[in-house]
Each structure stands twice: as structure tokens, then as C-alpha cells.
A = this chain, B = another copy of it.
């Protein structure tokens, strides 16, 4: 049990779209991630997707709509909803998904998420 400083964790890596696990909450990976550019549209059929912007600004594109999400703002994509996070400039995000959930929603592209 320890206090986790999110900016210190974010300072440990530079890759975009590469979530790093910082804690476990009831079988969910609590992750920090840096967004810049455009992630592919994708869907998580079995889980909601939790995004809290820590620094910067992103857009959450959905089918037919788009939402700006700034530092201090939360966006939850319900399960089954196709979405694409996008950020013109680097944006730092707290992300929560069940352990093992592939970023892209597609089990074929699942990668082991590093723990820091």
C-alpha cells in the first residue's frame, strides 16, 4: 500500500498509446497513458472504458459525435460503443479497464501492459 504520484509515473515513459499499469482496483488495471495523434476506432464489447484527463486535452470521437475532454474532466465510454481517442498535442490520461482488456478491444492485438 502506497501513495502513487501519477505525474511521476508518467515521467517514466514517453511512448504514445502505451498504457502503463500503476495500481489494481478490484481486478481493474489503473493505468496512465500519453495520447498524441489518433487511435483507431474500436469497441470494447464487454466493458466500459474510463478516461480522466490529467493534463492537456483530447477529443473522444464517437459515431456521429465528438466530445472535447480537458484536464480535470472525465469521459466514460459505455461498453459496446465504438470510439476513438484523439489528441492534437500530447495529453496525459488516467485510464481504467479490466485487467487484460486489449487497448484496441481486439484480443488478437492484446499486449502485456507494463507495470511501473
Taking Cβ atoms with an 8 Å cutoff, the residues of A that contact B are 1-7, 22-26, 28, 30, 47-48, 50, 52, 54, 60, 62, 65, 67-70, 72-79, 81, 94, 96, 98
In the complex, which residues of chain B have a beta carbon less than 8 angstroms from the beta carbon of A72? Answer: 5-7, 54
Identical chains bound together, number: 2
The answer on a CB contact under 8 Å between B73 and A6 is yes
> In the complex, A35 Cα to B62 Cα: how many Å?
35
What B residues does A48 contact at CB under 8 A? 24-26
On whether the beta carbons of A74 and B26 are closer than 8 Å, the reply is: no
- Cα-based distance from A115 to B76 in the complex (angstroms): 16
From A50, A65, A72, name the one whose CB has the most chain B CB atoms within 10 angstroms.
A72
List 8 contacting pairs A-B, 8 Å CB cutoff, sorted by A. Answer: A3-B60, A3-B73, A5-B70, A24-B76, A25-B50, A25-B76, A30-B74, A52-B52
